[in-house]
C-alpha cells in the first residue's frame, strides 16, 4: 500500500541545541514550536517485494550515501516494528530550499515516519509517532502534533515526545520566513549539536531553560504578544551565542541576517511590533500579528538581497493526504 503524507516544518521559539543522549536524540532541554503552513514536505512510502534496496528520491534526485543510510535506518525501525522485510520506495518533495536553515529534517522525518508507519500497516498513537519521528531527527517529533507544540525532554526514549499545547486556531500569529541564503549549510545540525557543550555559555543556557519554558507557556496562555516576542528573540540570540562560542565556532548568520535583525528592531521602535528568531541557518523568521503581515511584507520586499518571503500561519501537524 502506498501512503502519501504532508508534514509541516516547524519553527522553535524555545530551541533544541544539545543532546543528553546523542543516539536516541534525547535533548538537553524541552522546546516549544509552531508548525508552519507554507513550508512542508510531501512524502510517499511504499514497501515493495520487487525492490532489492531502498529507493529514495528527494526533490527529483536519487539519494545515496549518508543521507540514504539515515533514511534506511529509520525505515529499519519501522520494518522491525511491523515485522516486514521489504525494501521501500520513498518519494519526497519539499516546497522550500533544503539545508538553508528551514528545518527540512523536521518535516522530512515527520512525513517519512507517518507515511512509513501507515504503509507498513501499523497503527500508532500520536505519542508513539512523535517518539519514532524523534529517532529520525529530533525536531521532527514537533511536526507530528497540531499547532503550538511542546517537546518534553523526558528522561528516556519513551517519554521524550511532543504534544499539542494549543490548536492552530488558538492564536493568529504569523511566521514570515525571509530567505537570504539558499545554499546548504557547511555544518549540519547533527554535528552542531555535538559541539554545543564546548561553549563556555552552554551550562548557563541550559540552567535557564525550565524557567524560559514556563515563561513562554504563560505568554502563550495569556496571548501576551509582547512578552512572547521578547522571550523568542532573546532565546534565538542566546542559542546563537552558544553556537558562535563553540569550539570550533559556528557562524550561521550572513551580513543580511544581521541587517534584517536590526531593521526589525527599528520597525518595532516605530510601532510595528515584530520579533525575530533564527534557526541553524542564515534565514530570518519574523514573528508578527496577522494584522501586520502586509506592512511587514512590503518592508521586507524593499530590502535588497531578500531571495524569498514565505508567510506561514500556524498549521496542523503531519497528515495523510492519500
Ligand atoms: C530547533 N534546531 O529547535 C533547533 C534550533 C536548529 C536550531 O532542531 O540531530 O535537525 O536531527 O536531532 O533536529 C535542528 O536539529 O537535529 C534543530 P537532529 P535537528 O528547531
Indicate if the alpha-carbon torsion angle 111, 117, 119, 120 is positive or negative.
Answer: positive
Give the model confidence (pLDDT) of 271-287 as tens digits.
999 999 999 999 999 99
Residue with cell 524523534: 134
Q: Residue 232: pLDDT above 70?
A: yes
Confidence of residue 190 (pLDDT cuts 50, 70, 90): confident
- Residue 181, pLDDT score: 84
Which residue's CA lies nearest to atom 14 of ligand 1? Answer: 189
CB crowding 219-258: b at 16 or more within 10 Å, else e: bbeeeebeebbebbbebbebbbebbeebeeebebbeebbe
pLDDT at 101 over 90: no
Query: pLDDT confidence of 189, banded at 50, 70, 90?
Result: confident
Model pLDDT, residue 48: 98
Q: Report whether pLDDT(244) > 70.
A: yes
Contact present, 147 and 167 (Cβ < 8 Å): yes
pLDDT of residue 317: 98
Q: Look at domain 3-169 and name its CATH class.
A: alpha beta
188: pLDDT confidence band, cut at 50, 70 and 90? Answer: confident
What pLDDT digit, counting tens, does each position of 13-34 carry?
A: 999 999 999 999 999 999 999 9
Ligand 1: nearest atom to the Cα of 136: 11
- Nearest protein CA to atom 15 of ligand 1, as residue: 189
Which of 189, 242, 276, 283 for a ligand 1 pocket mutation test, highest count of atoms within 8 Å of Cβ? 189
Q: How far is the CA of 127 from the centre of ligand 1 (A)?
A: 19
Give residue 12 CA to ligand 1 midpoint distance, Å: 9
Q: Which atom of ligand 1 is nearest to the CA of 109?
A: 11
The pLDDT confidence band at residue 97, using thresholds 50, 70 and 90, is: low
Indicate the class that CATH gives domain 174-312.
Answer: alpha beta
Which amino acids bring their CB within 6 angstroms of ligand 1?
A: 12, 15-17, 25, 31, 103, 105, 137-139, 189-190, 193, 279-280
What value does the mean pLDDT take over residues 266-271? 98
d(CA 145, CA 106) in angstroms, rounded, equals 12
Residue nearest to atom 11 of ligand 1 (CA): 137
Ligand 1 atom at shortest distance from the alpha carbon of 101: 6
Assign residue 59 a region: left if phi > 0, alpha if psi is -120 to 50, beta otherwise? left
Domain boundary assignment for the chain: 3-169, 174-312
- Cα–Cα distance between 233 and 230 in angstroms, integer? 5
Average of pLDDT values for 31-59?
97
Residue 203 has pLDDT above 60, yes or no: yes
Place of cell 517519512: 112
The pTM (predicted TM-score) of the whole model is 0.97
CA dist., res. 246 & res. 239, Å (int): 11
Amino acid at each position: 500500500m502506498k501512503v502519501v503524507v504532508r508534514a509541516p516544518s516547524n519553527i522553535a521559539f524555545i530551541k533544541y541545541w544539545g543532546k543528553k543522549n546523542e543516539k536516541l536524540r534525547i535533548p538537553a532541554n524541552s522546546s516549544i514550536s509552531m508548525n508552519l503552513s507554507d513550508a512542508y514536505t510531501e512524502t510517499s512510502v511504499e514497501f515493495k517485494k520487487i525492490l532489492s534496496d531502498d529507493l529514495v528520491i528527494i526533490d527529483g534526485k536519487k539519494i545515496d550515501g549518508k543521507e540514504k543510510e539515515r533514511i534506511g535506518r529509520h525505515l529499519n525501525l519501522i520494518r522491525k516494528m511491523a515485522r516486514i522485510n521489504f525494501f521501500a520506495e520513498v518519494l519526497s518533495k519539499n516546497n522550500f530550499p533544503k539545508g538553508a536553515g528551514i528545518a527540512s529534517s523536521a518535516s522530512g522525518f515527520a512525513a517519512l515516519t507517518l507515511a512509513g508507519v501507515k504503509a507498513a500497516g501499523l497503527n500508532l498513537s500520536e505519542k508513539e509517532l512523535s517518539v519514532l519521528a524523534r529517532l529520525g531527527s529530533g525536531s521532527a517529533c514537533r511536526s507530528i502534533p497540531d499547532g503550538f507544540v511542546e517537546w518534553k525532554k523526558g528522561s528516556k526514549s519513551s517519554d521524550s515526545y511532543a504534544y499539542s499545547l494549543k490548536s492552530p486556531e488558538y492564536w493568529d500569529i504569523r511566521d514570515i520566513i525571509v530567505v537570504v541564503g539558499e545554499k546548504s549549510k557547511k555544518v549540519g545540525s547533527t554535528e552542531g549539536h555535538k559541539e554545543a557543550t564546548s561553549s563556555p555559555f552552554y551550562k548557563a543556557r541550559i540552567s535557564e531553560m525550565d524557567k524560559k519554558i514556563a515563561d513562554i507557556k504563560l505568554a502563550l496562555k495569556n496571548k501576551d504578544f509582547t512578552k512572547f516576542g521578547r522571550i523568542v528573540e532573546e532565546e534565538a540570540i542566546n542559542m546563537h551565542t552558544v553556537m558562535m562560542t563553540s569550539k570550533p565556532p559556528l557562524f550561521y548568520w550572513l551580513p543580511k541576517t544581521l541587517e534584517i535583525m536590526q531593521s526589525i528592531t527599528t520597525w518595532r521602535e516605530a510601532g510595528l511590533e515584530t520579533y525575530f528568531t533564527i534557526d541553524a541557518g542564515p534565514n530570518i523568521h519574523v514573528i508578527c500579528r496577522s494584522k501586520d503581515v502586509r506592512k511587514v511584507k512590503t518592508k521586507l520586499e524593499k530590502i535588497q538581497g531578500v531571495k524569498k518571503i514565505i508567510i506561514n500561519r500556524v498549521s496542523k501537524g503531519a497528515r495523510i493526504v492519500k
